[in-house]
Structure 1
Amino acid sequence: MSNLKEVQARPSMDNNNTVLHITMLPWLAMGHLIPFLELSKCLALKGHRITLISTPRNIKRLSNLSPNLSPLITLIELPLPHVHGLPENAESSMDIHTNKSQHLKMAFDGLEAPIAAFLERSTPDWIIYDYASHWLPTIATRLGVPCAFFGLFTAAFLAFIGPPSVVLSNEATWSTAEDFTVAPSWVPFPSNIVFRLHEVKHALPENISGFSDSYRFGIALRDCEIVLVRSRVEFEPEWFKLLTEFWQKPVIPVGFLPPSVEDGADEKDWAEVNAWLDKHRTKSVVYVALGTEAKLSQDQVNELALGLELSGLPFFWVLRELPGSTKDGNDMGMLPDGFEDRTRDRGLVFKGWAPQVRILGHSAIGGILTHCGWNSVIEALSLGRALILLPVMHDQGLNARLLEEKKIGLEIPRDERDGSFTRDSVADTVRLVMVEKEGEPLRSKAKEARVVLGNRDENEHCFDGFVRFLMEHKRQQG
C-alpha cells in the first residue's frame, strides 16, 4: 500500500500473473484527484498499468511519481473546454468560487467526446470513474469495457443520498435545505447522521449544467459493474449493508488508502515547517486546516482566530485565500488586528499550501481542527491524531456526525441555522480535545482508530480483495 516504504512494483501472482490496464477518470477537485492517484499508486505497486486522465493544470498539481512507479502510471492531459462564465485557467474546484461549480461541471461534460476517442484507442481492461462523469458508463458499454464507480465518500454518505428510486427520480426529493436535516425514510435504523441547516442552505444551486449532482450520482451508481468505497466494512458495517441492498451489485471496500508521510512535500517548504514544529513538545500543537475549498465568513475567521488565542495552546494554522474572496469582509485571509503578533511565540499562520501529511506525522502534533473532508480525516486518524470538527460544505457535515457517533471527534458547537460560533466555543472544544481530562476518551479513540485506518496489513488485505475481483472478472471475460 502507499503508506509503506515503496518497494519495486511487481506483477500480481494471482490469476496467472494477469496484468491489468486500468484507466482512471477523477472529478476536477484536488480532494478527488489525490485519492484517485493514491489508488493508482497502490495498483501500480501490484504491477498493473494505470492511465489517469485530467486537465493540464491538474496533472501538474499532482505529486511527482517515484522512479519505480512512473513506468506504470501514465498521466494524460486533455484540455478543458471553455465555458462562458468560468474564469480563465480554472480547471479545478479550488480555482473557483462555489457558485461557479456548475460551470465547471459543464466544462467537464465537454470532455465526453475526447475521452471517448481516447478510450477507443487505448482499450483498457477496466475504467474507474467519479460521480460527475455520469456519461462514462455509456461509453464503456459501447466499447465492451467494464467500469467501476469509485466513491470518495463514506458508505454512510452514499447511502444517505438515497436508493435508485430517489436519486434517479424526476421529483425534487431534496427540494429544500430542511429536507437534508432529518434522517431519510430509507434509512431503516436509528441515525443521527444528518446535515445541519447551515451546511446545506447554499447547496441547492441553479442547475445550469443540465444535470443535478443527485442525478450524476444516481447514474454513476446505477450503470457501473461495481461500487468502490474508500472505507472498510468494519468501520461502518450497517451503511455498507444498506448500500448493497440499494444497488444490488458488489459494493467493495478498497481500504482507506492512507498516504505516505513522505508524499507530496517540497523539501524547502518542509524544512521551514519542520524547524518550527521541532521547537514544540510532543502532541502539544493543534494543526488547523480547512481544506482547499471551505470558505468561512469574516466573522467566523475572527472567532476562530480569537478562539485559538484564547485556548492558550500552540497552533499551526494553514490559511489559504480562496478564489472569489474579496476585501469587503468576506476574505478568509483577513485576521483580527494584532492576532499574529500576540500569538507569535506559540502560533504560526502559514499562508499558502502546506505539506499536510508530513505535518500530521510530526510528533509535535496532537490534534487537528478540520473541515471534515474525508481525505483529511483519513490522514489524521491514520496517524492517531485527535479530531476537532468544523464542517463547512459538501459531505463534511455527515462525516462529522459519523465521527461523533463513533466518539472519535468532537464538533465545535454552532448555531444550526447560520453556522456561527464563538471564540469561547472554539477555545473550550480545542482545550477539551487536546489537553483536558474529559477529552482523554477522545484521544484514546483516535489512537484506536489508527489501528483500523492506518494498519498497513489490514488495509492491504482489503485492497487485495478488490484487486482479485478485478482480475477474476477479466479472467471470466477472457
Structure 2
Amino acid sequence: MSEAKKLHVALFPWLAFGHMIPFFELAKLIAQRGHKISFLSTPRNIQRLPKIPPNLAPLINLVSLPLPTVEHLPQNAEAATDIPSHKTPYLKIAFDGLQGPLHQFFQTSTPDWIIYDFAPHWLPPILANLGISGVFFSMYGAWTLSFLGSSTSAMINREDSRTRPEDFTVPPEWIPFPSKIAFGLHEAKRAFGDHIEVNNSGFSDVFRLGSVIGGCNVIAIRNCNELESNFSRLVGELHCKPVVPIGLLPPADFDGSSDQDDMWLTIKEWLDKQNKGSVVYIAFGSESELSQPELHELALGLELSGLPFFWAHRKRENSVKLPDGFEERVKGRGTVWTSWVPQLKIMGHESVGGFLTHCGYSSIIEMVGIEITKDEKDGSLRRESVAESLRLIMVEKEGRGYRDKAKEMKKLIADKDMHDRYVDHFVEFMQNHRVA
C-alpha cells in the first residue's frame, strides 16, 4: 500500500460505553492497517478506555473534548453509565455542546473521514462545508435500521403511518421479504417515550438518527452478509446510500489487564469447581437499569431454576436491592459479584453454558437464544418464566436445538479471517471514495 493512500480517520461515538467500545475496537482495526486515528471523546471517558496496544500507540491520538456544564447533569457525568436513564436527555444536551470543541479540532486537524454515531444531528452540514467525508457507523444490525424506515420521510419529517405503539408490533410494510422483526407492545410503549417522541434534549433519537444517516456519505453496519444480506440491501434502498458491512468486530483478546489478575483468579477458582457448561452468566451492561420488582423476580427466578450462576451485578447510586436472604440461600451454587468483571474471560470459561442479558446488541451479537416471556402490557418479569427459560436453554431436552444452533453460530462469530476481510473492504472503500 503506497504512503499516498494512508488515511487520517476520526471517530466520534455517543457518550455510552456500549457505543464507545465498539468504536474503539474499530479504531484499532483501522490503525492496524497503517492509518492515523483521532479518537474523539470527553476527558473522563478517554481515561476510562482500554489501553492502546503498544504497536498501535503511534497511530492513535486520543482527543479530549471538554463537555459543557448542563443544568440537571451531575458534575463529572460524562457517560450514560454515570447517570440514571431519565437524565440521559441532559447528557445529549451536553453532547450537542461539543460542536465548539469539535470545530477547534477541525481547525488544527482535518481528517479524510470522520466516523460518527447516531447523536450529532448537527454534524453532517459542518462536514459538508469542510469537505470531510462522513460515515454513519451503526452498531445495530441492518434489521434495526430497516424497521425505522426512510431517513428523510419517516425519521426526520415523521411521515410515518405508525402513530401509536401498537403500530410497531408488526413488521413494517416496506420490508419485502418474510420478517418477524417487531416490538412487543411493552417494548413499543417504551420506545415511543424514549426514542420516537421528542425528549428533553429538544430532539427525538429518531430525528437524530435520520439526520446523520441523511447527511452521511456511507452507512457502515456492524454485521456481515452471512447473517443479514437482505436487510443490508434494504437499508441501502431505503436511504439511497452505499452500505458497507464491517463484520461483527469480535474482540481480539480476553479483556483483562495485569492489575485485574487477582480478581480473575478468584472468579476462575469458583468457575473451575463447576461442571462444564453448567453455569449461567448474568450481566445487564453498563447502562441498563432494572427496577426493584424486576430485580426481585429475576433473583427469585435464578433461585427457582436450581442452576449454578455467576451474576455480575454492579451497584450504582440508589441501587435496587436483592431479596432478603437471597445470597445466603444460593450460597455455593450462585455468586453475586458487585464490581467490575473480565466478561470475556468469564464467557470463555468452559463451565459457562448460558448468558442471561438485557439484550444490548454488543451482547446478543455473540449468541443464539430465547426471550424470557414478559407481561405483554407492562413488560414485567415473573420468576417462573425466568426459571423455565433458563432450564430450557441449559438442561431441558426441548432446548437442544438452541444449544446446537449456538455451536453452529460460534463458527461464524469466531471466524477472524472473515471479519478481517470485512474491515479490509471498509478501509479500501474509504481510500477510494474520499470527497475530492
Q: TM-score normalized by structure 2?
A: 0.94
Q: Tell me which of 198, 208, 211 is aligned to 2:186.
A: 198
How far is 1:171 from its partner? Answer: 5.1
1:212 aligns with 2:204: yes
How far is 1:228 from its partner? Answer: 0.3
How far is 1:263 from its partner? Answer: 2.2
Matches of 1:224 and 1:148, distance apart in 2 = 6
Contact 1:161–1:167 (CA<8 Å) still a contact in 2? yes
Alignment map for 1:267-286 (pairs within 5 Å): 267-286=261-280
Q: Tell me which of 46, 51, 55 is aligned to 2:38.
A: 51
Q: Tell me which of 278, 290, 313 is aligned to 1:296.
A: 290
How far is 1:16 from its partner? Answer: 6.0
Cα gap change, 1:268 to 1:359, in 2 (>3 Å): same
Contact 2:153–2:159 (CA<8 Å) still a contact in 1? no
Q: Which residue of 1 aligns with 2:155?
A: 167
1:473 aligns with 2:433: yes
Aligned residue type for 1:422: R
Q: Which residue of 1 aligns with 2:24?
A: 37
Q: Which residue of 1 aligns with 2:417?
A: 457
Q: Which residue of 2 aligns with 1:321?
A: 315
The CA deviation string for residues 299-355 of structure 1, in whole angstroms up to 9 with x for no partner, is 2211111111111111000112345x4xxxxx43x1111111111111100112211
Cα gap change, 1:261 to 1:431, in 2 (>3 Å): farther
> Unaligned stretches of 5+ in structure 1?
1-12, 326-330, 382-407
Matches of 1:176 and 1:29, distance apart in 2 = 28
Contact 1:260–1:357 (CA<8 Å) still a contact in 2? no
Matches of 2:183 and 2:339, distance apart in 1 = 30
Contact 1:293–1:322 (CA<8 Å) still a contact in 2? no
Matches of 2:387 and 2:363, distance apart in 1 = 21
The CA deviation string for residues 167-194 of structure 1, in whole angstroms up to 9 with x for no partner, is 1215576644333322223223332211
Q: Which residue of 1 aligns with 2:328?
A: 341
Matches of 1:52 and 1:46, distance apart in 2 = 16
> Unaligned stretches of 5+ in structure 2?
none
Contact 2:153–2:160 (CA<8 Å) still a contact in 1? no
Q: Which residue of 2 aligns with 1:82?
A: 69
Q: Tell me which of 82, 107, 124 is aligned to 2:111.
A: 124
1:310 aligns with 2:304: yes
Cα gap change, 1:16 to 1:69, in 2 (>3 Å): closer
Matches of 1:26 and 1:50, distance apart in 2 = 14
The CA deviation string for residues 143-184 of structure 1, in whole angstroms up to 9 with x for no partner, is 111110001111001111111311121557664433332222
Matches of 1:247 and 1:268, distance apart in 2 = 50
1:109 aligns with 2:96: yes
The CA deviation string for residues 345-370 of structure 1, in whole angstroms up to 9 with x for no partner, is 11100112211111111111111011
The CA deviation string for residues 400-426 of structure 1, in whole angstroms up to 9 with x for no partner, is xxxxxxxx3111111111112222211
Contact 2:16–2:287 (CA<8 Å) still a contact in 1? no
Runs of 4+ in 1 over 6 A off after TM superposition: none
Q: Which has the higher helix share?
A: 2
Matches of 2:315 and 2:249, distance apart in 1 = 29
Aligned residue type for 1:298: Q
How far is 1:87 from its partner? Answer: 1.5
How far is 1:212 from its partner? Answer: 1.3
Matches of 1:174 and 1:267, distance apart in 2 = 51
Matches of 1:78 and 1:263, distance apart in 2 = 26
Matches of 1:200 and 1:98, distance apart in 2 = 17
Alignment map for 1:213-292 (pairs within 5 Å): 213-265=205-257, 266-292=260-286
Matches of 1:301 and 1:441, distance apart in 2 = 29
1:373 aligns with 2:365: no
Percent identity of paired positions between Structure 1 and Structure 2 = 49
Aligned residue type for 1:180: F
Contact 2:139–2:221 (CA<8 Å) still a contact in 1? yes
Number of residues of Structure 1 aligned to a counterpart in Structure 2: 429
Contact 1:41–1:69 (CA<8 Å) still a contact in 2? yes
Matches of 2:203 and 2:286, distance apart in 1 = 25
1:428 aligns with 2:388: yes
